Structure 1
Amino acid sequence: MHMNTCRGVVTGGASGLGEATVRAIVQNGGKAVIFDQSEEKGVRLQNELGEAVLFIKTDVTNEEEVTEAVHQASEFMGSVNTVINCAGIGIAEKVIGRNNVHNLDLFSKVIQVNLIGSFNVIRIAAEKMISNEANEQGERGVIINTASIAAFDGQIGQAAYSASKGGIVGMTLPIARELARYGIRVMTIAPGLFHTPMFDTLPQEAKDSLGKMVPFPSRLGSPNEYAQLAQSIIENAMLNGETIRLDGAIRMQPR
């Protein structure tokens, strides 16, 4: 798929990895619709990037909201042929903590947003995609999910987050196999330590220390590097059914 034909829905697109991906789509001649809970950031980005972008306040876990948002996105762009799922949350809590066991509601919330929210958007958007006219390679759509190296190297306190991201990795191949008959590809990116809003509260010294844990390049990843990989996936029709670690060769220690 050529980027200038990209008609992309980006969840979590108002900041971080999602924002960088929205910018990459627009800079390469495509159109994008942002699904996000942050109205302030979403509207600001829409206003900055102009008529090629639409913000829709959306809870990815809500079936009715996502259904309506995908419909609006299709109306705005003429079709939806790309989905990049970047919406997600994270917590740090031990199974057996100092004062209590892991909060079950928190565990469920992380699974609900990260895993079920991603699947909710996939299933509703894929139903739209199968009606697209196939391009010269027979493609009708591309779906890119965001996992994490925590899916493979989960640290102590990351049980919920790792489980949610491991689920994303696990569903990539079966969905890719199912949607192949329609010419829809499904890929997952598993980022390592990236400079996203969750790192903004850390002092620079802490950021530098985390960056030094990465073999090469020894720094935090840039959201633009995530967007660059997303673009490569969109443009390369042979990329399908796989999870790509984007992590500078880091393997996380237990804590």
Structure 2
Amino acid sequence: MKTLFESLFRSNAWLRIYSIIAITRLINRIGARLVIDGSAPRTIRWSDHLVVITGGSRGMGGRVCELLKEKGARVVVIDKAAKSLHGKEDLFLEADVTKEEELIQARKQVHSELGYPTMLISAAGIARHSVVMDPPHRFPSSFSNAVIDVNLKGSFNFVKVFGQDLLSDYDEEQDQELFPIRNNFGGHILMIGSGAAFAPLPANATYNASKAGIVSLHHTLNYEIQSWHKSDRVRNSVFCPLMIHTDMTKDRMKEQKNQFIFPTLTVDQAAAKIVKVLEQDRSQVFFAPAGAYALSLLMPNLPAWLIRLVANGGGSGSTFSEYLHKQRLPIGEH
């Protein structure tokens, strides 16, 4: 048996790559538990949890809301829309994540009607394709500003305002947490990143930067939760999908040619992965599909010319060129 495995391992390149990825992920899980979380995963009983989701009125966030309700959780949806398309939430609050004062008022209403949340999902996001050095009459700066404001600033505001509910007070003189924790559990913060944080998309500078910023914010929160807030009861994760079939990606991206290695996810598949991560109760950067994990390791270390070849090989460059020509504003129109 050992000889057979060794023979397969030596002759099959994909098996070697898969084994390396699997071992790396296992090491990461152990390291995250020991160094970041500081405590064993807890059993998640959804009936005990109150989840707040931004951008939960439709799309992936909406589907996450539906799945959580099926499992027995209470769910609050915060969205700029006037109402959710699914209507499954326990409480819907109309608010703009780019405006901190609106989130503060939303938090007060959540406390008043349902109590303290235990899980936060920052799913509000937009994509506005643009070319950095195109003149303003072609692509107004408002396109780029909106992406940064919603994707990055919106996540920052949401975590800043609602994250307090996951923590206990802290005694600086005694250098320890004061109990009880406000919600009697701690919690889990989950933000939506993107594979674009590691493998940038053409003509999407602000989207790429906003998602890279989300990954950086995730790592910063890990430090703060452990070192500043001294908490081992708050998990912190970020989801980095490669491509999902949504209204946001429609006509903008071509599917990867190799659907075995880099399959395009459905909204249902993406939402199910998010719920699974919450149930695992451990901090992590998780990728979908799993092959995207290899991209996150390789892309930052590849030379620029090779990254360009990878993008061209996936067809993304031509897709964005076609899309952008359709979207360009006529001269003088703002």
C-alpha distance in 2, partners of 1:234/1:99?
Answer: 42
Query: So what's the TM-score if we normalise by structure 1?
Result: 0.83
Structure 2 counterparts to residues 166-181 of structure 1, below 5 A: 166-180=212-226, 181=230
Query: So what's the TM-score if we normalise by structure 2?
Result: 0.65
Q: With CA pairs under 8 Å and 6+ residues apart, which has the higher RCO, 1 or 2? A: 1
What is residue 86 of structure 2 aligned with on the other side? 45
One of 234, 246, 250 as aligned partner of 1:184: 234
Structure 2 counterparts to residues 169-248 of structure 1, below 5 A: 169-180=215-226, 181-182=230-231, 183-199=233-249, 202=251, 210-216=254-260, 219-237=263-281, 239-240=282-283, 242-247=284-289
1:45 Cα shift?
A: 2.4
1:245 Cα shift?
A: 1.5
- The alignment partner of 2:260 has SS state of coil
> 17-26 vs 76-85, which deviates more?
76-85
State whether residues 78 and 92 of structure 2, in contact with CA within 8 Å, keep that contact through their aligned partners in structure 1.
yes
State whether residues 6 and 25 of structure 1, in contact with CA within 8 Å, keep that contact through their aligned partners in structure 2.
no
| One-letter identity of the residue aligned with 1:33 | V
**Identity percentage of aligned residues:** 24
C-alpha distance in 1, partners of 2:86/2:111?
Answer: 19
| One-letter identity of the residue aligned with 1:55 | F
Q: 1:8 to 1:112 in 2, by over 3 A?
A: same
C-alpha distance in 1, partners of 2:202/2:69?
Answer: 39
- The alignment partner of 1:197 has SS state of coil
Residue correspondences, number: 237
What is residue 153 of structure 2 aligned with on the other side? 116
One of 29, 32, 36 as aligned partner of 2:75: 32
Q: 1:76 to 1:192 in 2, by over 3 A?
A: farther
State whether residues 6 and 30 of structure 1, in contact with CA within 8 Å, keep that contact through their aligned partners in structure 2.
yes
State whether residues 130 and 144 of structure 2, in contact with CA within 8 Å, keep that contact through their aligned partners in structure 1.
no
State whether residues 36 and 58 of structure 1, in contact with CA within 8 Å, keep that contact through their aligned partners in structure 2.
yes
- Return 5+ residue gaps in structure 1 as ranges: none
What is residue 8 of structure 1 aligned with on the other side? 51
Task: Give CA deviations for 1:119-149 in whole Å, capped at 9, x if unaligned.
Answer: 10001111122243444xxxx1101000111
> Are 2:196 and 1:150 aligned?
yes
What is residue 253 of structure 1 aligned with on the other side? 311
| One-letter identity of the residue aligned with 1:132 | R
- Return 5+ residue gaps in structure 2 as ranges: 1-43, 168-180, 296-309, 318-334
| One-letter identity of the residue aligned with 1:249 | G
C-alpha distance in 2, partners of 1:101/1:83?
Answer: 37
